[in-house]
Structure 1
Amino acid sequence: MNGNKYTNGEIRNGNGFETNGDSCTYDDLMITAKYVLDRIPKMPSIGIICGSGMGQYWNEGALADTLQDKTIIPYGEIPNFPVSTVEGHAGQLVFGACSGTYVVCMQGRFHHYEGYPLWKCAMPIRVMKLIGVEFLIATNAAGGINPAFNEGDVMLIKDHINMMGFAGNNPLQGPNESRFGPRFPPMCKAYDRDLIEKAKDIWKNQQFDGRLFEGVYTCLGGPNFETVAELRMLKLLGVDAVGMSTVHEVLTARHCNMTVLAFSLITNECVMDYYDHSQPNHEEVIDVGKLRQSTLRRFVEEIVAYIAKNRMK
């Protein structure tokens, strides 16, 4: 099957016809999953989303670049898959061994601001489920709202506020596919508490450089950075860090009954004062990602080793 036949706006329905529909059916996703499974030696048990600045090939420090016995599948070759258009997102699935465990890395993700509906941004999570993934580690670059945060800090996500969902934009909208999960999935335990605590232990025991926090994340639509008034509002709501991804991926993962751990690399301190003349930009996101890439890679490797030893069946 030639994956390049499928463009961003095209999907396949259950009968194999190309349409510009509003979602992918279960059959569509099975086509995608089969394409992937036919090209890898075995099913991965852990999926890892490499966020901005954490998935590129800088000094061979990227997690996906250091996997053993790699298989690389560009997004553009995969039926029904979108294509990442953002700098810092390589745009490929990378399969291989991480700490001795077979994993899949999304080296680049998809965002609502690129023109994709949220269901399509999160569609790779359902494909992960179909190819065997039970644990999701999601990473992102985020702006620090919490005044205790500095550039380069890491925040384990203990909860999120789904601002886009408040506006009626949710990846689970539309007919429910019960083969993935229930119509009304609970989100009160979206982020696995055991993995959060273990991640904190790993960071302390390995004496990684930099500071580790725990906090609340929110996703906004982007692509613009936020106004001072918007950031002040988010702070009042209890948000510690803000980005443009992750929440819809976690919603989809939990609907699929995946176990989730997520963390943010704080790449900039949010401008909360009208008299502060600094301005956020994507270049600093990439630059901080380069500086912290090696530490975050080793952090994820230790987390994968823990999951493989203690949590996998």
Structure 2
Amino acid sequence: MADTAYAPAKVNLFLHVGAPGADGYHPLCSLMVFADVGDRITVHDADALGLKVRGPFADAAPASADNLVLRAARALLARSAGPTPPVGLILDKVLPVAAGLGGGSSDAGAALRLLRAALGAPLDDAALEAVAAELGADGAACLWGRPVLAEGRGERLSAAPVLPVLDAVLVNPRTPVSTPAVYRQLDASGRFGDVAPPRMPTAFESAAELAGWLATQRNDLEAPAIAVEPEVGAVLDTLAGEREALLARVSGSGGTCFALCASDIEAEGLAERLEAMAPHWWVRRCRLGGPWPDAG
């Protein structure tokens, strides 16, 4: 047995974050899309459950017990009836870590999908989604890797508007950004947003139309992320000043910024110029949308 699944990068086109409740959790509202750039998970026969991590960012995602892939596997196995054959997992880690791209959640989601199929685990989609949601705010959305509006703690999902395929560039300064630190910065500022879903068209016809609408929205974690790691602000300022960028914004709790472009030609030109301008940055031209079952 050896099967592989794609774990796409997640991008928050907007992210509104409210004041924490009595339980300490912040409610949110976010329009999420997924990239044709991501990690891969492979499941194979093994003597015992284990994880091997390889790839350019393997050192930043060690195969320790708290790795989300192993946590997802243990959670699924705990819900499976009867004995299960031992399996091993391999993570090809090509996305930067602590980057606002939901990489760990997407890896966990790919592992859940693979293991359910490989082991014949008796969980329907709703049950699998519940397992994914327990792993973090991005877990439920990242399980399926398709455009979605997420609310609550990220577990309440509804259909996104119809979106065009979006050409984009992802840029990360190769500096991890701590999500807890970003939320502490947000709490200290007291600048919480309205998390009621904004009025959205049922469909966007072009990247330019979407970018124009997104300009009226925001990422409430953008300023806190820049305060925690100023290099994120340098990336964002650079993207915003480039002629190809219809919109530049931080994704998630930071690390990675994205620029929406009008076409693949513009995205390619922007990516090539950024790679020459700042060779120490992680730069990837991509398409945003999803799902991308065969991407990578």
TM-score bracket for this pair, using the shorter chain length: under 0.3
TM-score by length of 2: 0.26
TM-score by length of 1: 0.25
